[in-house]
Structure 1
Amino acid sequence: MHDHHEAQGVSSSGVEFDDKGWPAWPDREDLSAEFIKLLAAAQEGGSTVSECWLTLSKIDLASESSWSAEWIKTAELNEARAELSSLSGNMITARRNWLRATTYFHAAARPPGYSNDLLKRAVDGMRRCAIKFLENRVPAGQLLSIHWTDDLSLQACYLPSAVRDDGPVIVCIGEPGSYKEELITKYAGHANERGFALLAVDLLGTQTALPPERLEGHKFEAAMSRVLDFLSEMPGVDRTRIAIVADACNSSLVARAAASDARFAAAVCDAGMWDLHERSFFHRQAGDDRKICWIEEANAISRGIECPLLVTAGEAGWLLPGALAKFGDQLSSIHRDASLILFRRGETAAMQGHIDNPTLANEVIFDWLEDRLGPRKRLA
C-alpha cells in the first residue's frame, strides 16, 4: 500500500456545520453527502460554488419536497442560459450551462425524490441536458443502448476521444440506483485530456427507478461482458486497451466483473474488499470466531483479476486505515500488479468515495490508467 503525498456552527437556515466546515444535517447524512458532492463538482465545471450556497439557503428541510424543488429551479435557470447561449452561437457557454444543469437536476433526484412528480421532472431534465451536452460536444458524444438480456438493456453515454486513431476506452460504472449522467461531469475532462474515450454506464436503463427484483437472476458480470463485446465492434476503439473504473468504493460489482472477463486491460475498483468485509460481519453476527478478521483469507475475487489493479481509499472512510493497510499489503503479495493508495485527511479526498475532493483522486486514478494503457497522442 502507498500513501498519497499528503467548530461546529449553525446557519440561519438551520444547517449545522462540522468541525471542518462541511454542512451536516442531523439524521440526514444522505443530504450532507449530496451537498458535499455538489460543491466538489465545481472543480470539474459541474456546478458553481455560489449557486450551490444560494440554493441551499432557500431549502426548507421541514418540507419533504423543498430539496428537490429548489435544485430543479437552479437547474432550469442553467438550462435556460444554455439554450439562450446556443441560439446566440456561444457554444462553449452553452455546454458549460448544460453540464451544470445536469448536475443540479441530478441533485434533485439524489437521494430519491420525495415526490414522484418532482423525481420524474428531475430525471427528465437531467437526461435532456446531458444529451444536449453530448450532442454539442467536440467531438460529439452519443446515447447508446447495449443489449443485456431479453428484457433489459444497459443505457450508456459514449464520449469519443478527440484523438482520431484507435485508442483506449475507460468504462465507468455507476452502482445500481445511480445515474450515468453524473459520471460525465466526474470523468469526462480527465479522460479527454489524456486522449481516452469514455463510456459511462448505469443499470437503470430508461427507468426512473429499477426495483431490485428486476435484477434477480441477472449477473452483473455478464452485463460487463456485453459492454466489452459492444465496444470491440465500435470503430476508433482499441479492444486491447479497455479499462473499467468503479464509481463507488463500497461495492464489489466491478471487481467481480474484472475477475470474470480477462479482456479488461486495467481495473480501478475495491478488489472485492467489501465482499470480504460483509462476510466478516455476518460471521461475527453468527458468533463464528474463526473468521472475525475480514482480511484473514486471500481474496478470491482479487486473485481472479488478471489485469493491473488499483484500489483507492480514504483515511476518513468507513474502514479503518490499519485494516486498509493490511489489505493493501496482502493485495500486493497475491497480485503481480496491484496497489492500494490511501488518501490522508491532511490532503483531502479522504472521505468515503473521495466525495470531498474527487478531482484529486481522479488525477491519481487517470495517471495510473495512462501508465498502464500505454503511450498515446496527448492533447495540447
Structure 2
Amino acid sequence: MSLLVLSHRDVSHPARGLSQTLLSSCLDYLSGRPDIDAARIGVYGEGLSAALATDFAASDRRLVAAVCDGGLWNWARMQASVVWMTRAAEAREEGSVTAQRTQLIRRLGCPVLVVTGGRGAVSVSEAMKLQTECIEERIDLDLTMPRMVKSAGGCIENFVTSDDCIFGWLNQKLALSAALPAQPNDLPQISSHALGH
C-alpha cells in the first residue's frame, strides 16, 4: 500500500482549491511510479491535517481510503460562523443538521477512519453522531479513540496502539480495494468492527 501523509503547515493554502491541486499533483506522481500500485493509495492526516485529508479525499476519487476528520472541523467552523453572524444560539432542527452533516461526508468516495480524542481535533460526541448518521446512510465510516495511559503528569496517549490501529485499518481497506473490482454505483458497505476500544 502507499500512503500520502499530509502536513497542514506544508500544504495548507488560503486560496480555495490550491491545496487540493498541489495534493492531486503529488497523487499524479505516485500513481505514475512503477513501484506504486495506483489502486492502493490512501491519505492520512491528523490534527488540522485531518481536515485537509477530508477535503482532498472529497476532491480526488483516486484515493481508496482516508484517515481524516470526516468534515467535522469544517462543519464546526461553519456552525460557529452561522451562530456568530446571526447572533442566534437557538437550536436548529435535528433533521436539517443531520442532512447537512451527512451531505459533507457523502462527497467522500472512499472508506473513512475518523480519529477522535487524543491528538485528533475531532469531538468524540460529534464523531459518534456522524457515525450513527453514516450507518443509516450506508456510508463506510469507522471511529477510533486512542488509548490513554495515566501517569504522574496526567494522561498520555499510547501512540503505539493508536498507530497500530490506524495502519491496521488502512491495510485492511487498501487490501480490499485491490481485491474487489471497482463498482462505482455500489454503496460502500458498513464495517462491523470497532477500532481502538
1:215-234 → structure 2 map (5 Å cutoff): 215-216=14-15, 219-234=18-33
Residue 278 (structure 1) aligned to one of 51, 54, 77: 77
1:287 aligns with 2:92: no
Q: Once the 2 structures are TM-superposed, how far is the Cα of residue 170 of structure 1 from its aligned partner?
A: 0.7
1:85-234 → structure 2 map (5 Å cutoff): 168-176=1-9, 202-203=10-11, 215-216=14-15, 219-234=18-33
- TM-score, scaled relative to structure 2: 0.71
The answer for the alignment partner of 2:132 in structure 1 is 329
The answer for the alignment partner of 1:364 in structure 2 is 165
Q: Once the 2 structures are TM-superposed, how far is the Cα of residue 316 of structure 1 from its aligned partner?
A: 9.1
Letter of the 2:162 partner, please give it.
Answer: A
The answer for the alignment partner of 2:185 in structure 1 is none
In 1, the alpha carbon distance for the partners of 2:69 and 2:168 equals 18
Residue 42 (structure 2) aligned to one of 240, 243, 246: 243
In 1, the alpha carbon distance for the partners of 2:129 and 2:49 equals 18
In 2, the alpha carbon distance for the partners of 1:302 and 1:316 equals 21
Higher Cα Rg, which structure: 1
Whether the aligned pair in 1 keeps the contact of 2:134 and 2:140 (CA below 8 Å) is: no
The 1:319/1:224 distance shift into structure 2, 3 A limit, reads: closer
In 1, the alpha carbon distance for the partners of 2:136 and 2:149 equals 26
Residue by residue, what CA displacement relative to the aligned partner does 1:207-244 show, whole Å, maximum 9, x if unpaired? xxxxx6xx535521212211111111112000110100
In 2, the alpha carbon distance for the partners of 1:227 and 1:171 equals 8
Q: Once the 2 structures are TM-superposed, how far is the Cα of residue 291 of structure 1 from its aligned partner?
A: 4.2
Whether the aligned pair in 2 keeps the contact of 1:174 and 1:248 (CA below 8 Å) is: no
The 1:314/1:327 distance shift into structure 2, 3 A limit, reads: same
Aligned pair count reads 169
The answer for the alignment partner of 2:111 in structure 1 is 308
Letter of the 1:373 partner, please give it.
Answer: L
Instruction: Give the match's secondary structure for 1:238.
Output: coil
In 2, the alpha carbon distance for the partners of 1:363 and 1:322 equals 23
In 1, the alpha carbon distance for the partners of 2:135 and 2:161 equals 23
**5+ residue gaps, structure 2:** 179-197
Higher relative contact order (CA 8 A, sep 6+): 2
Letter of the 1:203 partner, please give it.
Answer: V
The 1:229/1:323 distance shift into structure 2, 3 A limit, reads: closer
The answer for the alignment partner of 2:187 in structure 1 is none
Instruction: Give the match's secondary structure for 1:339.
Output: strand
Whether the aligned pair in 1 keeps the contact of 2:42 and 2:65 (CA below 8 Å) is: yes
**5+ residue gaps, structure 1:** 1-167, 177-201, 205-211
Residue by residue, what CA displacement relative to the aligned partner does 1:183-206 show, whole Å, maximum 9, x if unpaired? xxxxxxxxxxxxxxxxxxx339xx
Instruction: Give the match's secondary structure for 1:340.
Output: strand
Identity %: 24
The answer for the alignment partner of 1:256 in structure 2 is 55
Instruction: Give the match's secondary structure for 1:374.
Output: helix
Residue by residue, what CA displacement relative to the aligned partner does 1:27-50 show, whole Å, maximum 9, x if unpaired? xxxxxxxxxxxxxxxxxxxxxxxx
Letter of the 1:365 partner, please give it.
Answer: I
RMSD: 3.2
